[in-house]
Structure 1
């Protein structure tokens, strides 16, 4: 079974290569590192960082040095984080990984990009009223699709083994934004409908699929107005397949086709350079339809489906993978991310039992979240579990 730990470039820069890679090999005993190449805004606590305990990550920043010629004339382009100064953490990580015989993976957040969404609102998803979700990029927009493909091309020059594709899909309303507020209870149906994208490109894609996009948008607006005006209506169960005689459900299906085709394009680009592409499905089966996630189709489009095995018990991890199998995704075509911290594990035996479940089911790859956010004792748990 292949193994790696997810990490930030700032972990490498703050600790130095000897400490950082030494912890990965000597304590965690993994065969690779999965380094964030483009990441969203965050504020995190770092238990063992020698320079800081709390760090703010910039919105939509890149942690490698983009090639200016490759992005010439592009509106959407990666902007290096100010935290890396004049260094290139990916070049440093690639050199050190090669020296130590480790694999380097690029953990890349594609369509959840606060910086680019705010700078280019026309590239962000638009709800049925035309309001833009500025923390995101729309997977149907041609410039967004070109941006995603070019990111993969850029990362190939570092000798990356695999792209870990996060947020290569739509996001719903509640994906998380600073001081995000809902003082009236919206209800799950209204939240779902407010998260659908009706931008020009999404409507055009739906029309090409034979879906009456304008009728679907009008039905969504009417339903939202009804639920926003009345708390009794807001509590009613969702029945999206009944809106506009099924046009809204068909519109969502067209959105899924958009995501699948983008995943196929990005995977094809990765193939050109001998890289694998793992499509990260964070929510698991049954939770991603409104985000455009069609698991059986994506399993064919990408090299691998990656999921979060965040659970308290080994039995719960097994159940998660069984749910994927019911959707046509076999364990041997997956990678699973585990957390060795106290939120999921009550001790080394717990993590070892989860790793044993993955091995038993034939999962070829396990990753651990997250180097900088865990105590050093959690790195020791990884080493014990893999051994």
Structure 2
């Protein structure tokens, strides 16, 4: 089974390559590192970082040095994080990974990018009223698609083995801005409807499929106005697939085809450079339809589907992974992310049992979240679970 640890480039910068890669080798004993290449805004606590405990990650920043010629004349382009200065963490990681015989993966957040969304609002999704969701980029927008495929090409020069594609799809209303406020209860139906994109590109894609996009948009507006105006109406359930005489379901199907087409384009671009593309489905089977996630189609369009195995027991993990088979995704075409921290794991035995479960199911790849956000003892737990014994050459937790 392939194994790697997800990490931020700032971990490498703050600790230095020798300590960072030494921990991956000697403590975790994994076969690779999945390093964030483009990442969203965050504020995190870093238990073992020698320079800081709390760090802010910049919105939509890149943690490599983009090739200027590749992006000439384009509005959507990756902007290096101020935190990396003049360094190129990906080049440093690539050199050290090669020296140690480890694989390097590029952990890439594609369409959840508030830096680019705020800079270019016309590339962001728009709700039924035309309000732009500026923390996102719309997967149906041609500029966004060009940005995503070009981004993949950047990683080939670093010798990246695989790309972990996060947010290569739409997001709902509540995904993603800090200090979001909802003082009146919207209800799940209104929230779902407010997350659907009606930008010109999504409407055009729906119309091309024979969907009356303008009628769907008007029906969604009317339903939202009624629910926003009346507290009693907000709490009522609704059959969304019947809205606009069933045309909303067809509209969402068109959005899913846009996501699948984008994933296929990015996968093809990766394959041309000898890289694998793993599509992250964080919602889980049957839950991503409002995000445009059609699992059977995506399983055929990409190399692997990845899920978050953030559960407490091996049995719960077995049930979660097995559920994907009901949606056309075989376990042998999956990757799973586990957290070795106390929230999910009470010790190395628990983690080892989860790894045995994944092997029994035929899952070929496991990743561990997240290097900088865990204690060093959790890295030791990974090594113990992977290799069945305490790892050697480790130093006490600091």
TM-score interval, smaller chain: over 0.9
Q: Secondary structure at the match of 2:280?
A: strand
Partner of 2:172: 172
TM-score, with structure 1 as normaliser: 0.99
Offset at 1:173?
A: 0.3
Offset at 1:35?
A: 0.1
Q: Secondary structure at the match of 1:366?
A: strand
Offset at 1:347?
A: 1.2
Partner of 1:213: 213
Q: CA RMSD in A?
A: 0.5
Q: Residues 62 and 79 of structure 2 are in contact (CA less than 8 Å); yes or no, is this contact kept in structure 1?
A: yes
Deviates more, 1:105-114 or 1:340-349: 340-349
Unaligned residue ranges in structure 2 (runs of 5+): 388-398
Structure 1 residue runs of 4+, over 3 Å off?
A: none
Within 5 Å, which residues of 2 pair with 1:304-315?
304-315=304-315
Q: Secondary structure at the match of 2:243?
A: helix
Unaligned residue ranges in structure 1 (runs of 5+): none
Partner of 1:260: 260
Q: Secondary structure at the match of 2:341?
A: coil
Q: In the aligned structure 2, how far is the partner of 1:247 from the partner of 1:50?
A: 55
Q: Does 1:337 align with 2:337?
A: yes
Offset at 1:346?
A: 1.1
Partner of 1:98: 98
Q: Does 1:230 align with 2:230?
A: yes
Partner of 1:31: 31
Q: Secondary structure at the match of 1:245?
A: coil
Q: In the aligned structure 1, how far is the partner of 2:216 from the partner of 2:3?
A: 45
Q: Secondary structure at the match of 1:258?
A: helix
Q: Secondary structure at the match of 2:112?
A: coil
Offset at 1:236?
A: 1.1
Partner of 2:137: 137
Partner of 1:365: 365
Offset at 1:194?
A: 0.1
TM-score, with structure 2 as normaliser: 0.97
Within 5 Å, which residues of 2 pair with 1:38-77?
38-77=38-77
1:234-254 deviation digits (Å, cap 9, x = unpaired): 111131111111111110110
Q: Secondary structure at the match of 1:260?
A: helix
Q: Residues 280 and 305 of structure 1 are in contact (CA less than 8 Å); yes or no, is this contact kept in structure 2?
A: yes
Q: Residues 135 and 176 of structure 2 are in contact (CA less than 8 Å); yes or no, is this contact kept in structure 1?
A: no
Offset at 1:231?
A: 1.4
1:153-212 deviation digits (Å, cap 9, x = unpaired): 011110000000000000000113111011111111100000000000000000111111
Counting matched residue pairs gives: 387
Q: In the aligned structure 2, how far is the partner of 1:128 from the partner of 1:366?
A: 39
